[in-house]
């Protein structure tokens, strides 16, 4: 990967490591290792959330959240007969558009190690017109691991996890790969934690679980951490590609980090997003506003899980969300790190965010 103004090796490691909802073990280990030199204490909970706490000089606390899980699958059935090849049927963990799954490589994570496979697609000239026009469903998708059914049954079990197999690459001014949602924001949080040394307020850096299946980790942490202020980090839609009118683009790559005003799950606290904007302007950080018609983020998980809380959110514009080729701009990633670090450095616990 070409030179970028941040730790590209860490970003690659985070995006290429597997971790579906409820099974974030591998990515959690990476996060804990990264926290070792940047926070004062680290803890995990029964769900698998990780909290790295940087002690401040006051009792006021801020929670910063980015989720660890990626969309994936669970094995629900092994298909085939003893005389032929076997195939793996899937159950979705998170929101998939089955149309993009054809002709992709996948990895099945078994107790005995990772097993490569492919999601094949029949040659179009062998299909009827009706078959070509049919809208696929996840339950119709199968993974081919190239093994006879009997051997497959010895290697793969119902309940094993499946993720897409994709490398992270630099493409022009962008970075593309699987699981940028939300590993690129997890990365931004870890980078910001590295920059802070002696904050005025206590900061809880929260790497959350199970966001893709209902913001579950954040809802639990909102109660356990009980912060005075919460800031969530997530990717957001960038439909800045041919076929979309300007009003439907939401954000555009290269125009800076996105300060969320609303999404399908939350309306951010006006005084919080206005202060985020003020910090960006003071620091000369490029930003854009985000109004996302649908979809939810950990911001909502913190807003009222332990009483009413002021919340804000910073987003990284990303093309092709929930596909193996999610794409973000290098400068937008840098701007997100800069804004988060500057905001936390300037937070003194004395701002009145109440309406």
Residues labelled catalytic? 211
Does a cis peptide bond (omega within 30 degrees of 0) precede residue 182?
Answer: yes
Burial class for 143, CB neighbours closer than 10 Å (0-12, 13-18, 19+):
buried
The contacts of residue 159 (CB under 8 Å, 6+ apart) are: 74, 75
Query: Closest Cα to residue 225, out of 314, 302, 340, 310?
Result: 302
Dig out the tokens for 116 from the structure.
Answer: 């490569």
Q: Which residues contact 307 (CB under 8 A, 6 or more apart)?
A: none
Per-residue buried b or exposed e for 70-103, using 16+ beta carbons within 10 Å of the residue's own CB: bbbbbbeebebeeeeebbbbbebbbebebebbee
The position carrying tokens 């006006």 is 270
Cβ–Cβ < 8 Å for 100, 219: no
Burial class (CB in 10 A: 0-12, 13-18, 19+), 349: middle
- DSSP character for 124? G
**For residues 312 and 272, is the Cβ–Cβ distance under 8 A?**
yes
Helices (H), 112-164: 129-133, 149-155
CA separation for the pair 335, 312 (Å, rounded): 16
CA 261 distance to own-chain centroid: 19
Give the count of beta carbons closer than 10 Å to the beta carbon of residue 221: 29
- What does the chain come to in residues? 355
Per the CB < 8 A criterion, the answer to whether 301 and 309 are in contact is: no
- Measured on CA atoms in the order 90, 93, 95, 100, is the torsion positive or negative? negative
Report the distance separating Cα 328 and Cα 174, nearest Å.
5
């Amino acid at each position: 990967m070409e030179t970028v103004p941040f730790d590209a090796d860490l970003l690659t490691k985070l995006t290429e490591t597997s971790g579906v909802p409820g099974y974030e073990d591998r990515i959690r280990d990476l996060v804990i290792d990264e926290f070792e030199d940047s926070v004062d204490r680290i803890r995990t909970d029964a769900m698998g959330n990780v909290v790295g706490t940087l002690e401040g000089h006051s009792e006021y606390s801020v929670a910063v959240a980015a989720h660890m899980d990626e969309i994936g699958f669970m094995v629900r059935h092994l298909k085939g007969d003893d005389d032929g090849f076997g195939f793996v049927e899937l159950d979705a963990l998170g929101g998939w558009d089955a149309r993009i799954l054809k002709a992709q490589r996948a990895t099945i994570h078994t107790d005995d190690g990772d097993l490569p496979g492919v999601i094949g697609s029949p040659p179009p000239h062998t299909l009827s017109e009706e078959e070509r026009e049919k809208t696929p469903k996840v339950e119709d998708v199968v993974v081919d691991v190239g093994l006879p059914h009997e051997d497959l049954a010895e290697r793969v079990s119902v309940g094993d996890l499946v993720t897409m197999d994709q490398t992270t690459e630099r493409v022009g001014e962008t970075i593309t790969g699987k699981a940028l949602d939300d590993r690129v924001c997890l990365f931004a949080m870890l980078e910001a934690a590295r920059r802070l040394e002696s904050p005025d307020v206590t900061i809880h850096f929260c790497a959350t679980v199970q966001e893709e299946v209902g913001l579950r980790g954040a809802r639990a942490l909102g109660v356990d951490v009980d912060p005075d202020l919460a800031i969530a980090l997530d990717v957001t839609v960038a439909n800045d590609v041919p076929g979309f009118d300007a009003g439907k683009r939401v954000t555009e790559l290269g125009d800076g980090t996105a300060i969320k005003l609303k999404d399908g799950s939350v309306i951010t606290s006006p005084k919080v997003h206005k202060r985020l904007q003020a910090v960006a302007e003071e620091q000369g950080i490029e930003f854009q506003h985000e109004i996302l018609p649908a979809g939810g983020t950990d911001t909502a998980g913190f807003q009222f899980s332990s009483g009413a809380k002021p919340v804000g959110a910073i987003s990284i514009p990303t093309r092709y969300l929930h596909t193996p080729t999610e794409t973000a701009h290098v400068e937008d990633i840098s701007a997100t790190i800069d804004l988060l670090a500057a905001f936390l450095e300037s937070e003194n616990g004395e701002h009145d965010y109440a309406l």
